[in-house]
Amino acid sequence: MALVPPYIESLRPYEAGRGIEEVQREFHLTRVSKLASNENPLGPSPLALEAISKSLPALHLYPNGGLDLRRVLAEQFDLKIENVIAGSGSEGIMSNIIRTFLCDEDEVLTTEAAFIGFQVLAKSRGVKYRTVPYRDWHYDLPALASHINDRTKIIYLANPNNPTGTIFSKHEFDEFYKDVPERVLIILDEAYFEYAKDNPRYPDSMHYRYDNVITLRTFSKIYGLAGVRIGYGFAHEDLIKNLLKVKLPFEPSTLAQAAGIAALADKEFLHRSLELNARGLQLFTRSFRELGITVIPSDANFVMLVLARAEQAAQLTRELLVQGIIVRPLGSFGLPNCIRVSTGTDEDNQRSVEAMSKLAALVS
Ligand SMILES: Cc1ncc(COP(=O)(O)O)c(C=O)c1O
């Protein structure tokens, strides 16, 4: 269609994971475990739910653009409010970063098979999108540094990374950072920060600040609030000031902001979620390996399984679905021989291991 620019025409729309009810209907199942979107299997933070209920009577009023949440985050992280932004999920902020900083001739640089949400957003801007292969399923930071050219404007790094679950250390980042010119903006996507933060190798980017780095975090994962769309970012005030010019004035919504503020204080929920995830990661890693599957060690709330062939990954995904386990095939990320399995409740995890055991012949 002549109205549509070629870089939009060639995009594939974001494919969300399949829903529980849809799978129940299609395969006549009573129990379905959705382990496809790295959500919190415990549901939303109870304190967030309470805060949402309390804010319902004020829904006729416009929200204040995230000011309350920015204030709370600034206090909690010992920053100025000018260094903090809140948005409709971290993807909402990512979208604003792309609109704010990219010009037509600029280029984006990241790893191959990066988080699909970022891929879609960057490609929809019509700029050149360049990638560097993984090294042993980790970001190859030296190779990324060597690919920076005069047109590179944004470098996207997710730590932990989705879909591999791997991390890079502060030392690795610092070595890389030495080669990044100041005119290049680094997006440090820490959507899974809370899951990794107790690993001594994992750098908390709040403990070091660079003027051309924007850190993004979300309430969608450990706080269980993917459905209300709330995320936040930290950066130099000049970056935030310009992002605020571009962002929709009334995002995040009243409910999202209230939920985020309350969730931050829900330490008990955070603790339970972390413990459950640690059990899940341990069980998946051990059990899937015992079946002869390559499992990438993960610091997030999912594991990536690497199969020999794309057909095996497709068949495994399909057969797990028949048994009521929804996992994420990674073809759309650019890894057709891989699948990603999020940790669930203990029962979900046990069911997944049992289902996978019945399919061992498929993967050997
Ligand atoms: C690396 C990464 N960044 C960002 C997001 C999106 O987070 P949000 O729901 O805050 O937009 C995800 C969700 O899967 C993710 O994996």
80-90 average pLDDT score = 97
Tokens in use for 45? 């933070």
93-105 average pLDDT score = 97
Q: Is 208's pLDDT higher than 90?
A: no
146-164 average pLDDT score = 98
Can you tell me which atom of ligand 1 is nearest the CA of 115? 1
How far does Cα 119 stand from its chain's mean position?
A: 12
Distance CA 98, CA 118 (A): 10
Q: Is 22's pLDDT higher than 90?
A: yes
104-132 pLDDT tens trace:
999 999 999 999 999 999 999 999 999 99
> Ligand 1 atom 3: the closest Cα is on which residue?
191
**pLDDT class for 205, splitting at 50, 70, 90?**
confident
Is residue 218 lining ligand 1, measured as CB closer than 6 Å?
Answer: yes
Q: Is 13's pLDDT higher than 90?
A: no
Distance CA 157, CA 115 (A): 9
Q: Please give the mean pLDDT across all residues of the chain.
A: 95
Looking at residue 362, its pLDDT comes to 82
Is residue 115 lining ligand 1, measured as CB closer than 6 Å?
Answer: yes
Looking at residue 14, its pLDDT comes to 76
Query: Which ranges constitute the DSSP H helices of 180-339?
Result: 193-196, 237-246, 254-264, 267-290, 310-322
**pLDDT class for 1, splitting at 50, 70, 90?**
low
232-252 pLDDT tens trace:
999 999 999 999 999 999 999
181-196 average pLDDT score = 97
